[in-house]
Amino acid sequence: MKTVLSELARAGVPFEEHCPLSAHSTFRIGGPARLALFPKTREQLLLSLSLIDRAELPLWVIGNGSNLLFPDEGLDGAVLFTGGWREITVEGNTLRASAGASLSALAKRAQEESLGSLAFAHGIPGTLGGAVLMNAGAYGGCMEQVVVSSSYYDRKSGEIRTLRGEEHGFGVRKSVYQTLPSAVILEATLRLEPGSSEEILTQMRELAAKRRSTQPLDLPSAGSVFKRPVGHYAGKLIEDCGLKGFSIGGAQVSEKHAGFIVNRGGATARDVRALVSHVQECVRREFGVELEREIRFL
């Protein structure tokens, strides 16, 4: 570990020992990480990965901490946050960005360049890397519709590789990256449709207003907890079970949208996991529907 810290400092890579993960989670939950890294460039990210792998430390690569639950006991290894590396370039109707670029920033840049197709992503609190990994989407749009290629670093071979089109294996909140544990997404290229900047901005504002009116944006959460079950809406099933407002510890099924679990204050990962299990059991018992988690438990 001393060697790793020395090399990180020499390369100017920002890092923090015993870093409280709750500070880097939209849930505001999580114990300390033995080491947290915050690279700001491609070179710093690749160096960080190389150092961690050579030291044989456990590694978790995280975007914005917006679709996951960190454990209460923390993580005894290295957690690399990509959000400090946020390059965006536009050529014609093609947008290329680093994994750490936020979806809101991408949508805003596209709108400024009079490019549509990304308005749906403006309110999703994640990064491009996480969005490609999960095929993030909202309001009828998803990453599958715009991603034409992506590059990743293979930690096993040390090579940088590229996926194109159908090679991504996109599905409902999934991609082939979920089956490639040694892959760390670096960048992605999106092909967008030209449009009116003013009309795109209007659409983004309308979707933002819809989010504010229907989602519990005033409380810490990890977004929608469950994937949409075929033929149903998770939130409706949960509400019909009478679970709106139901709490375990500081974790609560949102009173505004039953598809969300919120941190009412002092919630632990244990509270959230117990509440998720309770919701799944109630929906299974009442409707015979298996709710599949969208958020990741680390």
Could you report the per-residue pLDDT of 190-216, keeping only the tens digit for each? Answer: 999 999 999 999 999 999 999 999 999
Active-site choice (117, 150, 221, 294): 294
What three-state secondary structure class fits 214? helix
pLDDT tens readout for residues 145-181: 999 999 999 999 999 999 999 999 999 889 999 999 9
Residue from 68, 14, 66 nearest 36 by CA: 14
d(CA 107, CA 117): 9
**pLDDT computed for residue 253 by the predictor:** 98
Active-site choice (25, 104, 175, 224): 224
What's the CATH number for 216-297? Answer: 3.90.78.10
User: Residues of the chain with pLDDT > 90: what percent?
Assistant: 95
**pLDDT computed for residue 131 by the predictor:** 95
**pLDDT computed for residue 97 by the predictor:** 98
State in words which class domain 2-81 has: alpha beta
- Decide if 2-81 and 216-297 have a common fold: no
Q: Identity (one letter) of the amino acid at 244?
A: K
Task: With beta carbons less than 8 A apart as the criterion, state whether 147 and 103 touch.
Answer: no
pLDDT tens readout for residues 53-80: 999 999 999 998 999 999 999 999 999 9
Note if the pTM is more than 0.85.
yes
**pLDDT computed for residue 121 by the predictor:** 93
State in words which class domain 88-198 has: alpha beta
Task: With beta carbons less than 8 A apart as the criterion, state whether 135 and 176 touch.
Answer: no
**pLDDT computed for residue 40 by the predictor:** 97
Any catalytic annotation for residue 173?
yes
Q: Identity (one letter) of the amino acid at 136?
A: A
Active-site choice (98, 150, 173, 221): 173
Sketch the domain layout of the chain as residue ranges: 2-81, 88-198, 216-297
Residue 238 vs residues 121, 257, 264: alpha-carbon distances, Å? 25, 10, 19
**pLDDT computed for residue 172 by the predictor:** 86
**pLDDT computed for residue 170 by the predictor:** 96
CA dihedral angle for residue 139, residue 293, residue 100, residue 200, rounded to 10 degrees: 0
Average pLDDT for residues 245-260, to the nearest whole number?
97
d(CA 149, CA 133): 13
